A and B are shown apart, each in its own frame.
Chain A
Amino acid sequence: MTVRTIYPDYNVMELSEHWDENTRRLVESRLKPPSPPRFFTALEFSILKVVVGRLVDEDNEELLSRVAGQIDEHLLQRQGQGYHKTGVLPGEQLLRLGLAWLDATALQFHQRAFTQLSPWEMDDILGKAQRGEVAWTGSSSKDFFTEILKTAVDFFYSQPEIWSEIGYGGPAFPRGYYRIEYGLKDPWEPRLDKELVEKRAEAGLGPGPVRRVDR
């Protein structure tokens, strides 16, 4: 069974009362349910959601809806970085085109919509897209895959529950960090669960046998 986190007692949002107001509001806004998509169509949005879920190995529907909703909002407001390679579509167009092609590829291979595929069928198509093994017109599938993976990582790893999962200490302003040297932690920082670390080690994951947990 997957160990979701080695910091089971840690919730970064419990620290938010110690953050400056602007940062707290921004992070809290990521926990709100998303508005209906305005950049993507309902179909594109439903594909986006399942694709993000496969890319970051997450099946929590509520969390994926928020991530996809925040991506939609970002694209709608043109908050991207503005640059792209010659011969590659700008990010917004690339994502839209690629999502449509994923659906078309699903129909071609399986005679079903992408969202109706089994997880392994989805992964098979995504892997082919990553390796450039599907022929799409208008864009290379590799360029799309790079863009969608980058986008998924950026928005998924900006979610506070994922910060909690990986044991990220968070914004910490105005409080700051003081015990910063090797082996030291401030009292509010995430604490390892030794048993969970060892459980991961049994599955060949993580840092291996615990040498020391929290002095």
Chain B
Amino acid sequence: MNHSTGLPWKWVNEAVDAVIVGAGATGAVVARELGQAGLRIVLMEAGPYWEVSRDFVSDELHMRRTAWRFKRLTAGTNPPELGHNVSASGVGGTTLHFTAVVPRFFPSDFRTRSIDGVGEDWPIEYHDIDPYYRKLEEEIPVSGPKHYPWGAFNGPYPYPEREPIAANHQILRIGCEKLGIRSSVAPLAILSAPYRGRPPCINRGFCGQGCLPNSKFSTLIHHIPQALDAGVELRHGCIVNRILCGADDQVEGITFLFDGQEYRQKARVVILCASAIETPRLLLMSSNGRHPQGLSNSSGMVGKCFMLHSGHETVARFSEEVLPYKGTPILSTTQEFYETPSDGSRARGFSIHANGARPLAFMNIVRKATGNWGKNLREIGRDYNYFARLTIVGETLPSVNNSVSLSDQKDEMGLPAPLVTFTFEDNDHKVIAAGVEMSKRILEAAGGRVEFVSEDTSHMLGGCRMGNDPRHSVVNKWGRSHDHPNLFIADTSLFVTSGASNPTLTAMALAWRTADFIKEHFRQGTF
């Protein structure tokens, strides 16, 4: 309780050094870094402050409540599944329910325009974030192989690879072996040995439901406690509804809603870590007379080039039990088809992960793939234990047609609900077709009979991309707004291209780099 205001927060009537919007994968990293640098930091989170042992249960249906569940609208030819599929609410964000697969991006991901003639080049290169990858892998820490066959980092990872791997994942390994394709145990932010009081994984497969033993990394259990120890003020249940901007284009802080009331928090710097939907939405909602298109939007690019990975599922039946509920959901992978193939049949590529399934995940794939119901559906359910699944992470190219904008409907807080428009384009379809075809070949080579292929997507990216040219990008290579020098973006919305690796590690590395830049400017007294 703040004794001068009667409100449950300190500093609410003062200007703090920085306010960070979103306490997920990236906001928690930025908060810890800036807090440990001695800055006065307020970390805003719309959702609850989850307590693992109190709030988490091992149940697919129940744990969907960790999703962002305010009203959102979808459109386009491939309107995406949002909710638990890609989003989260509450302290820890999507790290609460991600599969903790943490490969790095490849060097070529940052230069697709130069190398492949598609997408855009990033204003940074791989070596700019390489040191941050390394620091993160050490501290969260990543369990992975001694030798990793792809990309610029070939191991060894700090913690030993996960061993053994479960049957569903052996199937990928066997199929790849038969086809002469390299495969590997996936690099995972999941422990293979104890670390700071956290035990190694016991293979229950509930990564998507919040890990009860804390074997899986999340910012809720790792960065947030460190940030709080450093004096960061965490305000959960507070929904930021506007960024305040002065006549000099400097931002001055934010307003937020708590229990139906609006409050104001002034800050010298504002850092957005609210996701590829909520960050552009907040910029658009913060329009004013001077910035009718929204803040940081002189380019018109806020909300544009929103991307999702294609995440198509291929499921095959085997003649012996696979028991797909056992093991960490993703344990083995191949990134052999990550880049543009030499025959030029597509630009860029995909990863294929072996992906276990609990009953709801499996039955919903069957439902989507077949439309079966009644006896047909029930009989397939009776064979649940005989199925193995592979999932692609397919690159999609940035397109201005895929976007986050404000709809004319209101969400539960009375704020304009976001409209997410998404359509796979030509090259995206080529990547999907190649990824599904290769998934089928691997499953068949391992002795399976492919029965279901279902369309899916994962990972929201882009919408506030970084770039050197203020006419075509929202922020610069440090995540700093081209239009407002004390406004930063440090989440996946600044991705220029999608890559074909799970993006969390890259997002956290970029966020840490931006935090370092902000720290240095505070040290020099330029804010």
Cα separation A79 to B61 with both chains bound (whole Å):
10
A173 touches B374 (CB 8 A): no
B79 touches A180 (CB 8 A): no
Does A37 sit within 8 A of B, measured CB to CB?
no
Cα separation A155 to B317 with both chains bound (whole Å):
24
A83 touches B359 (CB 8 A): no
Contact with B along A144-155 (1 / 0, CB 8 A): 000001101111
A54 touches B204 (CB 8 A): no
Within 160-177 of A, Cβ neighbours of B (below 8 Å) are at 162-163, 165-169, 171-177
Most chain B CB within 10 A, of A20, A152, A166, is at: A166
Does A193 sit within 8 A of B, measured CB to CB?
no
Whether A81 contacts B82 in the complex (CB less than 8 A), given A55-B377, A167-B384, comes out as yes
A83 touches B65 (CB 8 A): no
Contacts of A36 in B (CB 8 A): none
Does B367 sit within 8 A of A, measured CB to CB?
yes
Contacts of A5 in B (CB 8 A): 382
Across the interface, A171 reaches (CB within 8 A) one of B59, B69, B164, B375, namely B59
Does A27 sit within 8 A of B, measured CB to CB?
yes
A sample of 4 more A-B contacts (CB under 8 A), given A55-B373, A168-B359, A207-B319, is: A153-B360, A165-B382, A171-B204, A181-B165
Cα separation A183 to B373 with both chains bound (whole Å):
31
Contact with A along B260-289 (1 / 0, CB 8 A): 000000000000000000000000000000
Contact with A along B48-73 (1 / 0, CB 8 A): 00000110111111101101111111
Contacts of A22 in B (CB 8 A): 53-54, 56-57
Whether A81 contacts B84 in the complex (CB less than 8 A), given A157-B363, A169-B323, A181-B166, comes out as yes
Across the interface, A176 reaches (CB within 8 A) one of B61, B203, B358, namely B203
Can you offer 8 A-B residue contacts whose CB atoms are under 8 A? Answer: A4-B382, A20-B58, A84-B74, A155-B61, A158-B61, A171-B206, A180-B323, A192-B321
Whether A154 contacts B371 in the complex (CB less than 8 A), given A58-B378, A166-B359, A180-B164, comes out as no
Contacts of A168 in B (CB 8 A): 325, 358-359, 384-385
Contact with A along B345-363 (1 / 0, CB 8 A): 0000000000000111001
Task: Give chain A's interface secondary structure class.
Answer: loop
Whether A166 contacts B382 in the complex (CB less than 8 A), given A83-B74, A180-B326, comes out as yes
A163 touches B359 (CB 8 A): yes
Chain A: interface residue total (CB-CB under 8 A): 65
Within 117-163 of B, Cβ neighbours of A (below 8 Å) are at none
A149 touches B373 (CB 8 A): yes
Contacts of A207 in B (CB 8 A): 317-320, 383, 386
Whose C-beta in chain A lies nearest to the C-beta of B327?
A180
Contacts of A27 in B (CB 8 A): 59
Does B257 sit within 8 A of A, measured CB to CB?
no
B57 touches A180 (CB 8 A): no
A177 touches B202 (CB 8 A): yes
* B71 CB to nearest A CB, Å: 5
Contacts of A57 in B (CB 8 A): 374-375, 377-378
Cα separation A182 to B373 with both chains bound (whole Å):
30
Contacts of B213 in A (CB 8 A): 173-174
Does B250 sit within 8 A of A, measured CB to CB?
no
* A97 CB to nearest B CB, Å: 18
B378 touches A56 (CB 8 A): yes
Cα separation A172 to B321 with both chains bound (whole Å):
19
A81 touches B64 (CB 8 A): yes
Contacts of B204 in A (CB 8 A): 171-173, 176-177
Contacts of A80 in B (CB 8 A): 69
Within 354-403 of B, Cβ neighbours of A (below 8 Å) are at 358-360, 363-364, 367, 371, 373-375, 377-379, 381-386
